[in-house]
Structure 1
Amino acid sequence: MEMTPDETTLFTVWGVGINETVGYTWIVMILLTVASMVITRNLRPDVPPNRWRTTLEVIVTAIQSQIEEISPRASRHVLYFSGTLFLFIAFSNLLLVVPGFTPPTASLSTTAALALSVLIAVPLFGITRQGIGGYLKTYVQPSVVMLPFNIISEFSRGISLAIRLYGNVMSGAVIAGILLSIAPFFFPVVMDVLGLLTGLIQAYIFAILATVYISSATATVGKPLHKEKDK
């Protein structure tokens, strides 16, 4: 049993082998992009919403409400970032039910890349909100002695995000493989259901943690949080 999609070549382009991680990642991105374009192509007030548009609006509204509960001062850019993370991870894990499909989130390289995007986004959101000086001051709070600890904490967040997502997806794959060898007719159905549930939960947790980190970076020290309207 393959332990990671990095080890399997999905197809070859100009003599270069593309592994399952890269190939399925692009497939997920293309499917999400095409689906969003098709659903929103008639996004006008005079056009009544269909069921797909209604479903998309429910998902976006739910994500936005969760973000606003965590960070009242969150901008729409946080919704775009965290929402994209959630949709990519959730859709990747949901496609597990497709025969032969291996979720790219089962690769440590993918989860590390997602965690790295959070590590980059956190200071960018913080600098945008507070300025470079204001954001850098958060590393010496409550005193300059905490500087190395705050830096270590920042990087440990990304590591924990990557390992948590990778570990949960891979553990599910390993358990499914073991049960499949024991009872190949009954357990796959059960594991598919559990895999879908776990995939949604992991996508939710990852997006929520990313939002929490961004909220912490954009919170002004010594000032109360208040809800701000997007301009």
Structure 2
Amino acid sequence: MLDNTVVTTWVIMGVLLLFTWLLSRRLRIKPGKVQTAVEGIVVSIEEAIADIAPQHARRLVPFIGSLWIFLVIANLSGLVPGVHSPTRDLSATSALAIVVFLSTHWYGIRFQSLKKYLIHYIKPSPILLPFHLIAEVTRTVALAIRLFGNMMSLEMAALMFLMVAGFLAPVPILMLHIVEALVQAYLFGMLALIYVAGGLQYQQERQRKGDSNA
């Protein structure tokens, strides 16, 4: 069913793909204003990732960076008249949370191995296996519901405020929406980064132990 959420999501993805394709065809040694701005965004994202997972910053930039950029645009799309932010739909936030869930395990298995990655679920004791599995499910559900709840409440609060105050105070509402949309995009992306980094933590611990034994 092609509802507002599906259409808006595909439009955002199409615009991002078109923009990156056009930009990649016009890269210059001496960048212009657009290329400079994009490079600044990429560097900022890479530095933020390096603070959490310094050994895997470059590997995680494509996923975490794409997630951050998509969320910023998706959250702000609600400012366009007649358009609802996709992230106010639980199905959209659930899909994003599932992508984060799968990516966490994919990165962990890719940089270790299936056997070595699964071992950390029974560390330090096999008794903790059920608790690890429950934590995987609950944090994924919480990730989806947190973004959905915050964006839904934000749009509802803005609508109620406009109904009460009319259009006498549009600027404060607009600024509130922008700030909250950026904050929610940052938090979701940061939590995704922490989860993925957690999947790589076991490998890093093994490397540190190997270096210390050497």
TM-score > 0.5, shorter chain as reference: yes
Of 1, 4, 7, which residue of structure 2 is paired with 1:23?
7
Of 150, 169, 184, which residue of structure 1 is paired with 2:151?
169
State the Cα deviation string for residues 185-219 of structure 1 (Å, max 9, x = none): 12433222111111111111111111111111111
Amino acid at match of 2:154: G
Q: Distance in 1 between matches of 2:63 and 2:138?
A: 20
Q: Which residue of 1 aligns with 2:212?
A: none
Q: Distance in 2 between matches of 1:156 and 1:138?
A: 18
Q: Which residue of 2 aligns with 1:223?
A: 206
Q: Which residue of 2 aligns with 1:69?
A: 51
Gaps of 5+ in 1: 1-16, 226-231
Preserved contact between residue 49 and residue 57 of structure 2 (Cα < 8 Å): no
Secondary structure at the aligned position of 2:54 is classed as: coil
Q: Distance in 1 between matches of 2:14 and 2:174?
A: 24
Q: Post-superposition shift, 1:76? A: 3.0
Q: Distance in 2 between matches of 1:170 and 1:114?
A: 16
Amino acid at match of 2:77: L
Q: Distance in 1 between matches of 2:24 and 2:166?
A: 41
Secondary structure at the aligned position of 2:148 is classed as: helix
Q: Which residue of 1 aligns with 2:175?
A: 193
Secondary structure at the aligned position of 1:18 is classed as: coil
Q: How does 1:52-131 map to 2 (within 5 A)?
A: 52-131=34-113
Of 115, 135, 150, which residue of structure 2 is paired with 1:153?
135
Preserved contact between residue 96 and residue 196 of structure 1 (Cα < 8 Å): no
Q: Post-superposition shift, 1:168? A: 0.7
The size of the alignment, in residue pairs, is: 207
Of 195, 198, 206, which residue of structure 2 is paired with 1:213?
195
| Seq. identity, % | 36
Amino acid at match of 1:117: V
Secondary structure at the aligned position of 1:130 is classed as: coil
Larger relative helix fraction: 2
Gaps of 5+ in 2: 209-214
Secondary structure at the aligned position of 1:73 is classed as: helix
State the Cα deviation string for residues 31-82 of structure 1 (Å, max 9, x = none): 111122222321143xx21111111111111010010110012153311111
Cα-Cα RMSD: 1.5
